[in-house]
Each structure stands twice: as C-alpha cells, then as structure tokens.
Chain A
C-alpha cells in the first residue's frame, strides 16, 4: 500500500501511526490511525465489520457496512493526514482513490460544570469546557435556529486548531462577520493553545490596558450576546468564548442580572460601578488627601488617621504602594501555589504580613484598610481585575505626586483615552458617549425585560426588533 507508506513516512517518527492491513473481498485494504487519539473498541468493531464485508468492491459498499458500527464518510486522499491527526481512522482500499474516514476520536474531557469566574445564585450553571464540540453543542442547544451559523476554521501551521466563528444570520452585521473571519484567518502562527491568542487580532489597540474583546464562559451568556448581534469566537481547547464588539459597560453586567428583579439588578450594577471606582481611585485619593489636602478629610477622622500614622516610617504614597505590592504578591502566590498550602498562605498573608506589620509600625491600619477595601471591590467586576489593578497603582502614584490636581488631570486623560477606544467599530463608552438613548435601557439601569424590545444600537444589528409583547385579555 503505497499511500499508507507515504503517510507513515511523512511523520517525523513513522512509528507514531499504526497500520492494520486486512482484506475486503479480493482487494487489499489498510486502516491507519493514531493509537493515542483513537478508541480501540470502535476500531475493533470497524475492523470486524470490514472483514465480514466480503462482497464489497468499492468505498460505497464498504462505507455502508462501516456505518452500522461507527460514524464514517468518504474523503479525498489529501485530507487523510489531517484526519488522522484529528483522531480519525483512515481506511484505504487498494486500487481505489480516496479513503474512508472513521470517527474514532477518543480523548478525555472535563464534565460541564459551573465556571469559577461566573458563578451565579440564579440562572443556568452550565459552563464551557475545553472540548470544542461540547461548547458548540451547548450554544446550539440554546439557539435552535437555522440562522445560527458556525463557520469552522483551522488556525496554526502546526497546531491546526479548530476555531469556530458563530453568529446569527440576519442579526449580526455582515460586515462585522466578514471582518472577524478575515482577522482570524490572517493569523499565521504555529499553534494557538487558547482563545486569548486571538484577542490581539480582534482588537484595534492590542497594547491598550483596556479589553476590547469580551470573554464569556457560559453558554446562556454567549447565546444572548449572539442574539444582540455580536459575533462569538470559540477555540478548541479553550473554555473561554470571545465576543465582539465589546463595550466597557459589559464589564459591569452579569448574566445573573437578567434573572433578577429589575430593581435589584440595577442596584447591583450601580454597586459594581461604585466598587470599581473605589478600587481604582480610593488609594490615590487617600494618598492625595493625606499628602496635600488635609482640609478635605473631616477633622475627627483626620485626627484618628493621623494618630494611626504616628511613627510610620514611610510617607503615605510609599506606604500604600508597599501594601499594594504585598497584596499583589500574596494574590499571585495564592493562585499559583498548591491548594493544600492555601490555609497556611492565608495565615502568613493576613497575620504575619498584615497584623504583625501594623503592630511593628511598618504600615498603618488605615492604609491596610484602604487597600483591603479597594482589593475586595476590585473583584466585583472580575473581567476588569487586571486593568483596575494597574490603574489603581497608577492613580496612587498620581495622587501622591500631584494631589487632586494630578487626579483630576489623570481622570480627564483616562476618559479621553476611553472615548477614543473602539471595539470593531463600536465605541467602548457606548451607550454614554456617544449617547444612545435606546441602549440606556440596559446600561447602568436594567429595565424590565419586556421593555428591552430592541437590540443594542451600538452593536449595529440590521435586525433591530427583538421582542414584542401585548397583554392578552382573558375572557
């Protein structure tokens, strides 16, 4: 079998593949597969079916026999290598061109569980896993429409990773879909191990500290984003879906908002915005006020704080930066270290570094409190943790160096920067700047679901109407 030999020898180590030769009637046949990626049981039953098919003379008849035991199809010779690397088994029949591809994939996959970054009290708990097919199925299960398009691409010269671009036809803007596909296709890389490899391709300013591509780990969230006219990118091996265009306000939204009462959902959104503002600006304001503007702090509070600061060797800015550094180290270590050491770590972090340092007079208790509050507040918008952490350090420095003057300037520059940021044509600060009155219904305030009749204008869906409802009169 020339073809089997050619494929086997094209591998760096020919022993990587296994070839099983057998006879089908009077013809010779061979099955080629990757033993690490295939299911032995399926292969055995396929082989048995093939050996029993004595009267078969071509691929068509042989396929008929194989289909009784496994999923299979006829393909070109040129696809054979790629199919083997994807976990399929290939059957060649001597003297006939083409091959039969038998689906014999077998690899371990994680069960569908609730994602750790998007836990909810109410609402679906399914989360994406690393398996591509499972992830697509989870979305298709929610959007049972002919309009749901799943464009499959292969990215990576060596990795050949499967990438899917999902959109709902007629709802997603055609130009947007084209742009996303062309940007993904333009990536010439050896392999991608996660969807985040594609993020810079989809961003207009990849060096920005602000994300311009949304991420989601839950199929219900992704399905609703698709219905808003967004385009979703899934990558094989990654449990994180990318959504574009992405607006900054989405960082303050949670999938659960839509399962809660309107008033409570709005309250939570306001709370998240206040929390993130506190997380970013509180250390800077504290430093600015204690360095330059004592008059801003109420007298009694000022006296208490100054008493606590007595004997602290570091000026407020350096003290806060020091505590921030400690916190970031503890956070990074607690993520990386083995779980069994977690308790010991929190004791070391909280007691030794925190309590003892305060008692030793190296850092002050108000400083620790400010950073603790700011750090807790940081996690109310998990997608923004990286950005907020950097901004927090930046504004602490600005507050320490320029006081309220510096902070005012810093905020103005920050807002100007955000105003110039776009995500695939959609303004990141929408629906506030530019002001899109219609989208304000689901901005900070989340109006009642029945009033969210149109899709977000900022996304630019050609199909604007989403919902119509009229009260039925009984009797």
Chain B
C-alpha cells in the first residue's frame, strides 16, 4: 500500500505532466529536427506528438485503474519478483539515459548562452547535486515543487511565446512536404529518445489521489505541453527554415531570443525569462533522477540516499566522459531510436495491462470474499434460527 502522505493530487499531476511534456522537448528538439527535416519538422513533431499523447492517454487510464499499490508491487504479484526486478532494471536504465541526455542539454544551454568561460565539468557538479537532492526526496515533494513553480514557468513560457509570436512571420513556415512522408517518418522516428517522457509516470502509479477530473487534467496538461512545443517549433521553423545553416549544431531555445524582450540598451530581460523557464527542465531532470532511484530502490536492497548519491556520481562520470553534448545526441539518435520508441509505447500499454489485471483480480477477490461473507452470514442466520426455534420449543415445554 502506498502511504497516503506520499500521494500527489490531481493538480500536482497536471503540473508534472506539463513539465514532463514540455521541458526536454523545447530545450533542443526543435533545433535538432529543423536541421534534419527543415519545414517538415513540424509534421514530424506533430505525428510523434500524437503518438505521445496516445501513450499519455494509456498512462492516465493506468493511473485511474491502478489500485493503491506501487507498480512494482503489482508487477511482482502478477509476474513474479524476478520478472519485476528485471523490468524495473530496464526502466531505471532508460530513465537514467534520459537524465544523461537532459543534463547534457542543460549544460549546453548554459555554457553556450550564459557562462562561456566555464568548463563543462564545473557545470555538471551542481546539476548532479540537484539530481541527488531530488532523487532522495519524495514524490509528494516533487509534486508540490512543480505545483509551486508552475505559475512562474507558465508565465515565463507565455511571455516568451507572446514576444516571439509578435516578432515571427509565420507565413515563412510554408510550404510543407519538401522531404516526403517516408523521410519525415524515419527522421522523426530517429528522435524517439526525446519523446516518451510520459512513460516515467510509472513511478506515480498508485500514488495519485484520483478524482473525476484526473483524466481531463492529465489530457489538458499533455495537450498544452504539446502545443507549447509545437508553437516553439513553428516559430523556429518560420525564422530559420530558409537559413538552417545558421543554426549550428547544439544551439537551443535562445536561438529565438532575438524576438524576445530586451536589447543591450534596455538590458537582456529575455535571459532572465529563459532562466525562469529553465526551471521546468531542472524539475524534469529531478523527476528523472527520482524515477531512476525509485526503480532501483525496488531492485536493490539499498537505502534511497545511497542510491541517489550513486545515480548522481554515475551521472557526473558520464557527463565527464561525454564532454560533447552533440556526441551524446548523435548516440541517442543512432542507437536509442528503436529502443526508445518501443519503450515509449510498450510502457504505457504494459502499465495498462498490469493495472487492469490487478483491478480484475482485486474485484474477483472482493467478490469471493463477499460471497464467503454472505455464506457465513446465512450460516449464522440459520444457526440463530435453529437456536431460536429450539428456544421456543424449550419455552413451550
């Protein structure tokens, strides 16, 4: 049974889904896709976005069906402990790689835009520290933190979009279809690692205070996040589609900053807005650290604090080894496209099957126990009647 205090509310789930759906994708994905697909990146992103939203739907269904037990408990009850441990090891590995990718991109964001004199090793230390701190925390704390930060993130995002929207000539994003459907499909598929963020919601299964609005809130959050990503890509496409070569590999959201508020005379307030928005990416990184630690905690009988520290150290070592984020991205595109795509679809489907089976099992057990109770009750009633009859006979005698 998941402890009540560790559960998150529907509002908190909403903010977590919004942050998961938006953070990593806006940070780098539009640029990466634009470089490969030009104007057609919009179509590719839309297609992948639809798949992702379907996966979110499945995940939300699993959340609604899930009894108040952790997903690990459900899997080990239905498939056995060994199978559950293997499955959760795979989950942990996937979430950890996502975390590495995310951390690498955050490093690029700051190193290219704000602190050009710093070595990437220095950047990595505080980021790993953040992952350690959030990793050893509770889901409830993550939920509350996202809820608290959500208004600031939303305001920064909205400000950026309004400012970008006023500056971009959106007619420049046409025409579509230069690359052909096959090319769009294959190139979008290659970026599967940047999708499938909702599969990490397995760690919240059984830990959500469900209401009638949970599904609606989840769907709205997912759609809003997808729209935000899409809007950003549209702006980027309209601005750079003719001159893709201007975006050197690795450039990120600040490529759009020339539309945003501020100049040298007034002070670059857009930098502040970007920093505020980046908090969403940091929360997402923390969530992945938490997901990794939670999965490992089920597999290894080690304290959460130690696991979190180990994840932080491992992250630091990998970031140290992978000094170039473009290499990391190339690695993700080359070797992780297929596994990531499978993972993205398989996890929600698997979660749905497991929770549905657990629910059916619970219902059967309930039926059986109520039948037993009824039988016992009728037995005792019969015995009571017998006794009463006997009593009456005695009285008559």
Contacts and interface: CB of A to CB of B under 8 A. Distances in A.
A413 interface: yes
A415 interface: yes
Contacts of B278: 408
A194 B145 CA distance: 35
A176 to B, nearest CB: 15
B115 A405 contact: yes
Given A420-B137, A434-B11, A297 B267 contact: yes
Given A293-B271, A408-B278, A427-B144, A416 B134 contact: yes
A197 interface: no
A341 interface: no
Nearest to A295: B268
Given A403-B114, A416-B137, A419-B145, A296 B269 contact: yes
A292 B129 CA distance: 22
Interface residues of B, number: 40
A418 B140 CA distance: 12
Contacts of B133: 413, 416-417
B28 interface: no
A162 interface: no
Interface in A162-220: none
Nearest to B282: A412
A409 B282 contact: yes
Contact of A432 (B147, B265, B276): B147
Contacts of A418: 145, 148
A416 B126 contact: no
B279 A416 contact: no
B126 A406 contact: yes
Contacts of A433: 12, 143-145, 147-148
Interface string B126-159: 1101100110011011111101110000000000
A179 B166 CA distance: 57
B279 A402 contact: no
B275 interface: yes
Interface in B108-125: 110, 114-115, 117, 123
Interface string B7-49: 0010110000000000000000000000000000000000000
Contacts of A417: 133
Interface string A428-439: 010011110000
B303 to A, nearest CB: 17
A301 interface: yes
Contact of B141 (A296, A405, A420, A432): A420
B279 A408 contact: yes
Interface in A284-311: 292-293, 295-301
A413 B130 contact: yes
Shortest beta-carbon contacts, A-B, top 4? A419-B144, A420-B141, A433-B148, A433-B144
Interface in B250-302: 264-269, 271-272, 275-276, 278-279, 282-283, 286
A384 interface: no
17 contacts: A292-B117, A295-B264, A301-B267, A402-B115, A404-B114, A404-B271, A405-B123, A408-B275, A412-B283, A413-B130, A415-B148, A416-B137, A418-B148, A419-B140, A429-B144, A434-B9, A434-B143
A407 interface: yes
A199 B193 CA distance: 49
A412 B279 contact: yes
A433 B14 CA distance: 13
Contacts of B137: 416, 420
Q: Pick from B114, B142, B271 the residue with the most CB of A within 10 Å.
A: B114
Given A298-B265, A420-B137, A429 B148 contact: yes
A429 B145 CA distance: 9
A96 interface: no
A357 B282 CA distance: 41
Contacts of B269: 296
B275 A407 contact: yes
A436 to B, nearest CB: 10
Nearest to A409: B126
Contact of A416 (B11, B115, B142, B264): B142
Contacts of B130: 409, 412-413
A413 B266 CA distance: 30
Contact of B127 (A295, A301, A409, A429): A409
Q: Pick from B137, B264, B275, B278 the residue with the most CB of A within 10 Å.
A: B275
A411 interface: yes
A293 B272 CA distance: 10
A415 B127 contact: no
A319 B220 CA distance: 49
Contacts of A300: 265
